[in-house]
Amino acid sequence: MRRVLGIDPGANATGYGVVEGIGDRLVAGQFGVIRAKDGQPLADRLLSIFEGLRGVIEAQRPHECAIEDVFNSKNPRSSLILGHARGAGILAAKSMGIPVFEYSPLEVKRAVVGYGRAEKQQVQVMVKLILGIDGRVAQDAADALAVAVCHLNTSYRGRL
């Protein structure tokens, strides 16, 4: 059995999702979204991400962590802020001794939907089907679960 924490980083909403690989089955564990309070300074948002993910790691005890890589944004400031959020997630895992692997959005969509240019809603539907989840899953949490599924279903890529 392997337990993977998937992270979909964002400065205002960071999705997380734990997926267990048990034989050839994938099973969802805890998932959700860490949300920043309106108007919170970036440093406080990053601390919330770090502390929230450490809490998930303490509770779920994943063996590995998979995080979505930064996509090329038209706005350099947005890319920089997203990079800070990724850093908080990476640091949360590494500070707990968890190895971290990164996947591009294209790789994640291809692994879950079969098509690298899939829409977010398609990823959300497929994650629910793959993991047998009934009910609503927030988009950011579905994206994080997709990153974990990608990691469990593909060869290990770059390790941070």
In a domain, 160, yes or no: no
8 in active site: yes
b/e sequence 9-21, b meaning 16+ C-beta within 10 Å: bbbebbbbbbbbb
Task: Flag whether pLDDT at 160 surpasses 60.
Answer: no
Task: Tell me, yes or no, if 143 is annotated catalytic.
Answer: no
Residue-wise pLDDT for 17-56, tens only, equals 999 999 889 999 999 999 988 789 999 999 999 999 999 9
Catalytic residue among 64, 68, 102, 107: 68
Count of domains for the chain:
1
Give per-residue pLDDT as tens, 59-84.
Answer: 999 999 999 997 766 788 888 889 99
Q: What pLDDT, on the 0 to 100 scale, is given for residue 87?
A: 97
The pLDDT tens digits for 90-133 are: 999 999 999 999 999 999 999 999 988 889 899 999 999 999 99
User: Would residue 24 show up in a list of annotated catalytic residues for this protein?
Assistant: no
| Annotated catalytic residue within 20, 69, 107, 140 | 140
CATH code for the domain in which residue 79 is found: 3.30.420.10
User: Residue 105 to residues 18, 55, 69, 127: CA-CA distances in angstroms?
Assistant: 18, 25, 7, 14
Which of 13, 17, 30 lies closest to 124, judged by CA?
A: 17
In angstroms, rounded to a whole number, what is the distance separating the alpha carbons of residues 60 and 125?
A: 24
Pairing of strands 13-22, 2-8: antiparallel
Segments forming the whole domain that contains residue 138: 2-153
Among 8, 64, 102, 107, the active-site one is 8
> Does 73 fall in a domain?
yes
Could you tell me if residue 158 is inside a domain?
no
